[in-house]
Amino acid sequence: MFDWVQHLADWFVYDVLKLGQGEHLSEALNFFIYDTIKILILLFVVIFFMGIVNSYFPIDKVKNYLSRNKLYGSEYLMASLFGTVTPFCSCSSVPLFIGFVSGGIPLGVTFAFLITSPLVNEVAVGLFIGLFGVKMTLIYVFSGVLLGTISGMVLQKLKLESYLTPWVKDILANAQKEQDAFIADKSSLRARLPIIWAEVLKILKGIVPYVIVGIAIGGLMHGYIPKGFFEKYMAKDNLFAVPIATILAVPMYSNASGILPVIQVLVSKGIPIGTAIAFMMGVVGLSLPEAMLLKKVMTLKLIGIFFGVVTLCIIISGYIFNIIL
Amino acid sequence: MSKVIKILGTGCPKCQSLTGVVKEVVNENNIDATIEKVEDIMDIMKYNVMSTPALVIDDVVTIKGRIPSKDEVLALLN
The 10s digit of each residue's pLDDT in A234-252 is 666 677 888 888 888 877 7
**A residues 195-214 closer than 8 Å to B (CB):** 195, 198-199, 202
Q: Name the active-site residue from B4, B10, B11, B12.
A: B12
CA-based nearest distance B46→chain A, Å = 10
Q: Above 80 in pLDDT, residue B1? A: no
Domains in chain B and their CATH numbers? 3-77 (3.40.30.10)
- pLDDT for res A42: 92
Please give the mean pLDDT across all residues of chain A: 84
Most confident of A178-187, A199-208, B44-53: A199-208
CA–CA dist A94, B8 (Å, integer): 13
Nearest-by-Cβ selection for A95 from B11, B41, B69: B41
Q: Which of A92, A165, A253 to mutate to test the interface with B (most CBs of B within 10 A)?
A: A92
For the segment A183-198, the average pLDDT, to the nearest whole number, is 78
Identify the top-confidence range among A17-21, A84-88, A217-221, A310-314: A310-314
Query: Is there a catalytic annotation at residue B12?
Result: yes
A157-169 tens-digit pLDDT: 998 888 988 888 8
CA of A307, closest CA in chain B: separation in Å? 22
Residue A179 has pLDDT above 60, yes or no: no
Q: pLDDT tens for residues B13-69?
A: 778 888 888 888 888 888 888 888 888 887 887 888 888 888 888 888 888 888 888
In this predicted structure, what is the pLDDT of residue A102?
84
Catalytic residue among B5, B7, B15, B21: B15
Collapsed DSSP state (helix, strand, coil) of residue B9: coil
Is the model's pLDDT at A71 over the cut of 80?
no
> Looking at beta carbons, which residues of chain A come within 8 Å of B9?
91
Neighbours of A300 (CB within 10 A): 11
If pLDDT is split at 50, 70 and 90, which confidence band does A231 have?
Answer: low
- Does residue A256 carry a pLDDT above 60? no
Q: In the predicted model, is pLDDT for residue A112 greater than 90?
A: yes
pLDDT at A232 over 70: no
- Touching check for A295 and chain B: CB below 8 Å? no
Band of the pLDDT at A147, cuts 50, 70, 90? Answer: very high
Which residues from chain A sit within 8 angstroms of residue B52, using beta carbons?
A: 89, 91-92, 95
Average pLDDT of the segment spanning B74-78: 83
pLDDT at A57 over 70: yes
**pLDDT, mean of residues A124-129:** 89
Q: Considering only CA atoms, which of A156, A139, A136, A144 is closest in space to residue A120?
A: A144
**Closest residue, chain A, to B44 (C-alpha):** A95
Give the mean model confidence (pLDDT) for residues A183-194.
75
Whole-number percent of chain A with pLDDT over 90: 20
Cis? peptide before B53, omega within 30° of 0:
yes
Q: Per-residue pLDDT averaged across A127-150, rounded?
A: 91
Question: Mean per-residue pLDDT for A269-285?
Answer: 85
Whether A96 contacts chain B with CB within 8 A:
yes
pLDDT of A23 over the 80 cut: no
